[in-house]
Amino acid sequence: MEFIIVTGVSGSGKSSAAKVLEDIGYFCIDNMPPQLIPKFAELCGDNSEISKVAIVVDIRGGELFLQFWENVQEMRQAGMNVKILFIYADKDVIRRRYKETRRKHPLYDIANGDLDRAIDEEFEILMPIRERSDYYIDSSFTSTAKFKENMLKMFLSNLSDSMMISCLSFGFKYGVPDEADLVFDVRFLPNPFYVPELKNLTGEEKAVRDYVMDSEISEQFRTKLFDMLEFLVPQYISEGKSQLVIAFGCTGGKHRSVTFAELTNDYLREKGYNVHAIHRDAQK
């Protein structure tokens, strides 16, 4: 049985993630106390009709949530296939979402009505879990549609015993993605932004990719990059890593970064890896 525990920052989109998982066949439960998860997992294991389960567990559980990791370890020691999906958004985005929706943060009362303090306290509790998570999604600058698309790419083709590789493009002007494991700055490559007929296109277009790659430097970089990935990816898999995010950044995240995210995605897919491309800033 595949067992996904969805957790993360309040207001980051955990409920939305659960809805996507439910749509693709997961049996989903929202806001279950961590102490009940091992017993619930046993019950699901006795039911042959349930093969995929997703449970949302977060700070709403109060003090019970503080034993989250102990409960996860208990399940894994019992031989259960448990993976953690962590949904993240940065503090400024969370603060804005709460002010816009006028919803009450779970730690609002404990923080004596101070939203900033509530957010800070939750981050302090959650960051150790984030570092140990198997899957990670940052919803800070992602539309609802894009969030769903990323979820589907991650779990529709997911194999519980293999590593999911994300080739992520981004613009440095919008910030470096927190979820990135490897970051490559490709601002040294030819820039299609200054070509009028290419300026409004993205690296998903052949004309843009051809322009970026029509350079000896670009070809040398691709050769060295692919050679390094051929060595690195098997090492990460042997380590037991569940998700690898390879990020490419250019100035605006529209041309050069998208080009190399697409090229790397194609290369790794040809090698037989479970991979998909995500373009965070291409439409900004």
Q: Strand, coil or helix: what is 276? A: strand
> Domain limits at 103?
2-155
Residue 202 lies in a domain: yes
Strand order in the sheet with 52-56: 27-30, 52-56, 2-8, 82-88, 135-138
The count of domains in the chain is 2
- Domain annotation covers residue 38: yes
Higher pLDDT, 277 or 24: 277
Residues 15 and 123 in one domain: yes
Model confidence at 158: pLDDT above 70: no
Does a structural domain hold residue 8? yes
Q: What is the pTM of this model?
A: 0.65
Residue that is last in its domain, among 98, 120, 155? 155
Mean pLDDT for 20-45 is 84
Query: Is the residue at 196 inside a domain?
Result: yes
**pLDDT score, position 153:** 79
Please check whether residue 145 lies inside any domain of the structure: yes
Within a domain: residue 272? yes
Residue 24: give its domain's CATH number: 3.40.50.300
- 160 pLDDT more than 80: no
The residue among 155, 187, 203 that closes a domain is: 155
**Residue 226 and residue 207 share a domain:** yes
Query: Is residue 284 included in any domain, yes or no?
Result: no
